[in-house]
Homo-oligomer: A and B are copies of this chain.
Amino acid sequence: MALRRREFTALLLGGAAALGLAGRAAAEGDPLPSWNDGPAKDAIVKFVHATTDAASPDFVPVAERIATFDQDGTLWVEQPIYTQIVFAFSRVPEVVKERPELAKEEAFRAILSGDRAAIAKLSMGQLLSVVGATLTGMDVETYRDEVEAWIKDARDPRWKRPFTDLVYQPQIELLKYLRASGYRTFIVTGGGQDFVRAYSERVYGVPVEQVIGTMFDLGFKPGADGKPVLVRESKLLLNDDEAGKPEGIHLVIGRRPRFAFGNSAGDREMLEYTKAGAGARLGMIVLHDDAKREYAYGPAKGLPDTKIGTFPQALYDQAMKDGWIVVSMKNDWKRIFAFA
């Protein structure tokens, strides 16, 4: 197991973080080059210094350094529709072949016809029923392989690139900066836990055990070779959205985060829970106000309304009142994608 110099340095840096030296080491260069100077970047750097400097009154022990990030719209593009839904759609023809009665349902008919107007009209409930029918029934290892294979080949229609290229470069830098400062970074997503686990390590540097997401019940059954496997069942165990986010955080981590980052109404409870803890806590929320480089949607601040990733004005007002930092994609992010 030969270690490259970079890995060895990372190992030593992990030790340095535990010793509270990481803030100093990271300060030598700009850890957040894709962030414009301004209040958002300032808030991050001040928070990291305050919580990792052993002499600070807000110092946080390494074990308690927990940072949680929503995924869709916070770490990568969620418009015009969640990537996991695109994956579910891609499986519809195959699933309908096995269960022809599904073709009679409105959602399946719309997807099979490719009628974009009809698809756009489907409710979130209808979309979830498609997810339930297409992304369950197989064992968790097969499912992971299928997501991995699909996500390597699939392309976003606007940028003609893999969906995993559409991660926000400022957030990749932030994740790395927090980790270099002794924080463990978790993804807390309304998306499927096992969907995100299939690429979280490669794309975000977040290992599978640090992905909390919507969970389905699992059946313990003999697999093809008779050896037991865990089969994805259609019964929802935890909807990791809204109040489900702090619940999922408690079940998987058991500690209240020090830092939380979201972008929509589904992240409200996670931000409230994080900020309600004692000591230094930072809550941040992305406002998608950049139609040119990404998308513009709210409806906060008069931005267009959308079914996906809704950021209502009331949430904006709550952010202002409770001291969550609103990150303007347009003003706070120098660069959005690594490829740009």
Interfacial residues, chain A to chain B (CB-CB below 8 A): 1, 3, 11-12, 14-15, 18-20, 54, 59, 61, 63, 140, 193-194, 197, 207-209, 211, 215, 217-220, 227-230, 237-238, 243, 246-247, 250-255, 269, 272-273, 276
Closest residue of chain B to A211 (Cβ to Cβ) is B254
Contacts of A247 in B (CB 8 A): 217-218, 220, 230
B255 with A209: CB separation less than 8 A: yes
A269 with B220: CB separation less than 8 A: yes
Contacts of A140 in B (CB 8 A): 250
C-alpha gap A243/B197 in the complex (Å): 22
Contacts of A250 in B (CB 8 A): 140, 218, 230
Closest residue of chain B to A144 (Cβ to Cβ) is B254
A228 with B15: CB separation less than 8 A: no
B220 with A243: CB separation less than 8 A: yes
B20 with A1: CB separation less than 8 A: yes
Given contacts A11-B18, A18-B11, contact A208 B272 (CB under 8 A): no
Contacts of A11 in B (CB 8 A): 15, 18-19
Given contacts A1-B59, A207-B63, A227-B276, contact A252 B251 (CB under 8 A): yes
Main secondary structure of the interface of A (DSSP, over half): mixed
Closest residue of chain B to A20 (Cβ to Cβ) is B1
Closest residue of chain B to A141 (Cβ to Cβ) is B256
C-alpha gap A219/B14 in the complex (Å): 36
Between A193, A217, A254, the greatest number of chain B beta carbons within 10 A of the residue's beta carbon is seen for A254
Between A1, A54, A217, A252, the greatest number of chain B beta carbons within 10 A of the residue's beta carbon is seen for A1
A246 with B230: CB separation less than 8 A: yes
Chain B: minimal CB distance from A278 (Å): 10
Closest residue of chain B to A230 (Cβ to Cβ) is B250
C-alpha gap A255/B144 in the complex (Å): 12
Given contacts A209-B254, A237-B238, contact A228 B197 (CB under 8 A): no
Q: Which of B3, B237, B276 contacts A237, CB < 8 Å?
A: B237
B246 with A228: CB separation less than 8 A: yes
C-alpha gap A220/B249 in the complex (Å): 12
Contacts of A272 in B (CB 8 A): 228
C-alpha gap A238/B217 in the complex (Å): 9
C-alpha gap A54/B1 in the complex (Å): 6
Closest residue of chain B to A54 (Cβ to Cβ) is B1
C-alpha gap A12/B11 in the complex (Å): 9
Besides A1-B59, A228-B246, A228-B276, 18 more A-B contacts (Cβ < 8 Å) are: A1-B19, A1-B61, A11-B18, A11-B19, A15-B15, A63-B207, A194-B254, A197-B254, A208-B254, A208-B255, A209-B252, A209-B253, A209-B254, A217-B247, A218-B251, A220-B247, A228-B272, A229-B276
Contacts of A211 in B (CB 8 A): 254
A251 with B193: CB separation less than 8 A: yes
Would you give 27 A-B contacts (Cβ < 8 Å), ordered by A?
A1-B59, A1-B61, A3-B19, A11-B18, A11-B19, A63-B207, A193-B254, A197-B254, A208-B253, A209-B253, A209-B254, A218-B251, A220-B243, A220-B246, A220-B247, A220-B269, A227-B276, A228-B246, A228-B269, A228-B272, A228-B273, A228-B276, A229-B276, A230-B247, A230-B273, A251-B251, A252-B252
